[in-house]
Amino acid sequence: MTRVLAILTVTAVCFAFLSGLVYSIWQIGATTTPVDLPALLAGNLDDSGVENPVTAVLLNFRSYDTLLEIGVLVIAGIAGISVAKTSSLEDPELRTSDELLYALQRWLVPLTLLLAGYLLWAGSDRPGGAFQAGAVLAASGVLMRLGGIPMDFLRPGLMLRLGLSLGFSVFLLVAVASALSGSRFLAYPPEMARTLIVAIETVLTLSIAMVLLALFVSAPINNAEEPEEGGS
Amino acid sequence: MTPFLLYALAGAALCSIGLFGFILISHLLRKLLAFNLMGSGVFLVMVGLAQHRSGPDPVPQALVLTGIVVAIAATALAVVLIRRYYHLSGKTSLEDPAQNPPPAPGPRQAREAPHE
């Protein structure tokens, strides 16, 4: 009885939430904006150093967001690693050694690495960029991990720390350097904007892939003595 | 009424479905899925609404892209924490403190002592 009552209450709350949302979306959709953001962006695109508007927003006009975002990612990665039982990384029995997967990998991993490189390079003038490339890179890392290819750099140590913090520290370094040289925080010098953006995107790709992969690997893995802990 | 407004409304519907699941479901992984559903609804509202008003708008698209990456990392961290919680306590849901006021004395010690 209480269960039914709870479901009914929650349903009512959710319907109220939904109707409030729909009403406000309808209202916002009917009004017109005083600021035309796309036109503003198109007018200033030449100053940003890249041709793709999304990349221009991410790494030039709103780069503060991206800086904080990679900071959040690094914190999430560090927290995930510190929770994990890292000793299980070295246990070869916990790796899947599926021959079919291994054969598939020999085709797929080079292709995904190539795709990640292309996405990173394409980000400056067409859809693509650091996040897509990082996600593809992390996916190929997950595939390699599942196939039992040893990845020593994921063990706790200098390489892991360096990989996790590389993107954030380079980004922060560029931001502070531009602030120290008389400009504002995160304001790139216009003649170097494209080079800086591509460089930042490259290290961001590595760091994003590293964070995602580290989080995937660091899920605590079952012990044989504890059967109720599910598969890895 | 453009199709893009329909996307925004579908995002609102996803949000409330996610809210329903987030409140009612007690299994932690399913709760996490419901929470992600809410997040996807928010992304859909942001992109759809902006596109409805002024055509494809790169600013909300970039913000949503940032949001997606943060959401992935937060979800992965939550999965790590949930697995750790399950590993230590053997439960898949957070118990109601009102129902059993004295918390079980050290589920961690009780479970880890035999093989230490």
Q: What is the model's pLDDT at position B16?
A: 94
Q: Tokens standing for A166?
A: 């590389």
Q: Average pLDDT across each block of 10 residues of chain A; the chain has 232 residues. List them in order.
A: 89 93 89 78 80 84 87 89 63 63 86 93 84 91 79 76 88 87 78 85 91 79 44 42
Does residue B14 belong to any structural domain of this protein? yes
pTM, two decimal places: 0.80
Of B62 and B96, the one with more pLDDT:
B62
Q: What is the CATH number of the domain that holds B87?
A: 1.10.287.3510
The burial of A48, by beta-carbon neighbours within 10 Å (0-12 exposed, 13-18 middle, 19 or more buried), is given as buried
pLDDT grade for B113, boundaries at 50, 70 and 90: very low
Per-residue pLDDT tens for B11-46?
Answer: 999 999 999 999 998 899 999 999 999 999 999 999
Q: How does DSSP assign B42-70, residue by residue?
A: HHHHHHHHHHHHHSS-HHHHHHHHHHHHH
Question: In the prediction, which pLDDT does B28 show?
Answer: 92
Residue A97: the pLDDT is: 65
Contact B55 A83 (CB under 8 A): no
B35 falls within a domain: yes
Q: Which domain covers residue B38, as residue numbers?
A: 3-92
Which of B58, B54, B53, B47 shows the shortest CA–CA distance to B11? Answer: B47
Q: How many domains does chain B have?
A: 1
Position B52 in a domain: yes
Per residue in B40-82, pLDDT (tens digit) is 999 999 998 888 877 788 888 888 999 998 998 899 889 888 8
Instruction: State residue A105's pLDDT score.
Output: 86
Q: Where are the domains of chain A?
A: 1-31, 38-217
Residues B24, A83: C-beta atoms closer than 8 Å: no
Residue of B nearest to A232 (CA): B83
Per-residue pLDDT at A203: 92
By CA distance, what is A229's nearest residue in B? B87
**A133 neighbors A123 (Cβ within 8 angstroms):** yes
In a domain, residue B115? The reply is no
The predicted pLDDT at position B98 comes to: 64
Contact B77 A80 (CB under 8 A): yes
